[in-house]
A = this chain, B = another copy of it.
Amino acid sequence: MTTTPPAEIGMPLEEVDTPALLVDLDAFERNLDRMATALEGSPVRLRPHSKTHKCAVIGRMQIARGAVGVCCQKVGEAEAMVDGGIDDVLVSNEVVGARKLDRLAALSRRARVAVCVDDPGQVAAIDAAAARFDTTLSVLVEINNGAGRCGVEPGRPAVDLARRIADAPRLRFGGLQAYQGRAQHIRDHAERRAAIDHAVALTRDTVEQLAAAGLECEIVGGAGTGTFRFEAASGVFNELQAGSYVFMDADYGRNLDAGGGPFSEFEHSLFVYATVMSKPDSGRAYLDAGLKAFSVDQGMPLVADFDGITVTRASDEHANLDLGGAGANIAVGDKIRLVPGHCDPTVNLYDWYVGIRNGRVESLWPIAARGAAR
């Protein structure tokens, strides 16, 4: 069931029903602009990750500012993006299973579609799906450049797999997927850079081995919000896949910049809006938003707009507030904004973004790929 929107266009913020997922449109647009400015004049393309926002409206705004398309993590996300008007999608992930591969091949008949592999056995499966739909698919080799998750090892194993793709009748070798996910949240700037220096070296060596074997990489893709400037300057990567920069979750705010201060290149623009539903005493209160309204995998959300109030715990439908000395400022019925610890899984809990500007609802955008885990 898609839920009804929690607001109407034109409504003052205070009337938005809760829990709701708010986008501060000014902050959000500044984030989009900052990324576009950061890459201005660079040969490196931006292909932002739509797993963050799951919303083709936002994807099209990114493309309008220069992005070449979007990344997706699931076929269902790719379908939602293409249905929403985006014609170039890279599934930056392995896709396993004939039903999913059929959907991917079908999608490639109406958009530019690429996908990743890290297993020789999967090349034939993707080729067979492409044949069933009389199409061709671009396939990237995912390499493990330090994250230690999926991906073949850099160098020779990557070349062998790329050769197998190039030899498949319905497939085109599309390049390398080289995302160092573990590096994104390394707090210290120098350590984070060192992790990417290592990833870049492995990736560069693999690109060179591929070239020596006559295999050119149309895409060398990777990078997230925590490291994109390093990959952009690498001379090896030509596509950046940052996603979180549009919203900036609380966890990214704990990264440090080169000067040791908090990473502040982007602003928090996504908020969970919640109502104080109980205040048993002056020191504590409870919100009508809990584990089903925000993800806690990267810690509790932060309270915006009030100093000294913290979320100490969450249960299914409650967040526990420690009011500190601010108890007098909070009453039952008040609505407050929370900054999610981790935006991506939080967004996946909602059907609608409520866009706010100048204290008023300006947009209601469907989160069309909410729940699109297949």
A: which residues have CB within 8 A of B?
A: 1-3, 6, 17-19, 51, 73-74, 76, 80, 93-97, 99-100, 118-119, 121-122, 144, 149-153, 181, 275-280, 286, 288-289, 291-293, 295-297, 314-318, 320, 332-333, 342, 344-345, 348-351, 366-374
Interface of A is mostly: loop
A-B contact pairs, 10 of them (CB 8 A): A1-B367, A1-B370, A2-B2, A93-B277, A121-B332, A149-B315, A149-B318, A150-B277, A291-B345, A292-B348
| Residues of chain B contacted by A367 (CB below 8 angstroms) | 1
A277 to B118, CA, bound (A): 9
Tell me if A374 and B3 are in contact (CB < 8 A): yes
A369 to B93, CA, bound (A): 31
Chain B: CB-nearest residue to A316: B344
Which of A316, A317, A367 lies at the interface centre, i.e. has the most chain B CB atoms within 10 A of its CB?
A316
Tell me if A96 and B276 are in contact (CB < 8 A): yes
Tell me if B3 and A280 are in contact (CB < 8 A): no
A348 to B149, CA, bound (A): 27
Tell me if B373 and A80 are in contact (CB < 8 A): no
Tell me if B1 and A316 are in contact (CB < 8 A): no
With A3-B76, A292-B348 already in contact, the answer to whether A122 and B332 are too (CB < 8 A) is: yes
A315 to B97, CA, bound (A): 21
Which of B76, B97, B149, B297 contacts A286 (CB under 8 A)?
A: B149
A279 to B118, CA, bound (A): 8
A151 to B293, CA, bound (A): 22
Tell me if B280 and A18 are in contact (CB < 8 A): no
Which of B181, B314, B349 contacts A315 (CB under 8 A)?
A: B181
A150 to B281, CA, bound (A): 10
A373 to B275, CA, bound (A): 12
| Residues of chain B contacted by A181 (CB below 8 angstroms) | 315
With A292-B373, A345-B291, A371-B351 already in contact, the answer to whether A150 and B318 are too (CB < 8 A) is: yes
Which of A93, A100, A280, A373 lies at the interface centre, i.e. has the most chain B CB atoms within 10 A of its CB?
A373
Chain B: CB-nearest residue to A97: B275
Chain B: CB-nearest residue to A119: B332
Chain B: CB-nearest residue to A73: B317
A76 to B288, CA, bound (A): 13
With A315-B181, A345-B291 already in contact, the answer to whether A280 and B150 are too (CB < 8 A) is: yes
Q: How far is the CB of A139 from chain B (nearest CB, A)?
A: 15
| Residues of chain B contacted by A152 (CB below 8 angstroms) | 280
| Residues of chain B contacted by A349 (CB below 8 angstroms) | 348-349, 371, 373
Contacts A1-B368, A18-B97, A150-B277 known; list 13 others, CB within 8 Å.
Answer: A1-B80, A1-B369, A17-B374, A19-B373, A94-B277, A96-B276, A149-B315, A149-B318, A152-B280, A288-B373, A289-B373, A292-B371, A349-B371
Tell me if B344 and A94 are in contact (CB < 8 A): no
Q: How far is the CB of A43 from chain B (nearest CB, A)?
A: 29
| Residues of chain B contacted by A280 (CB below 8 angstroms) | 118, 144, 150-153
| Residues of chain B contacted by A318 (CB below 8 angstroms) | 149-150
Chain B: CB-nearest residue to A151: B280
With A73-B317, A316-B73 already in contact, the answer to whether A374 and B100 are too (CB < 8 A) is: no
| Residues of chain B contacted by A121 (CB below 8 angstroms) | 332-333
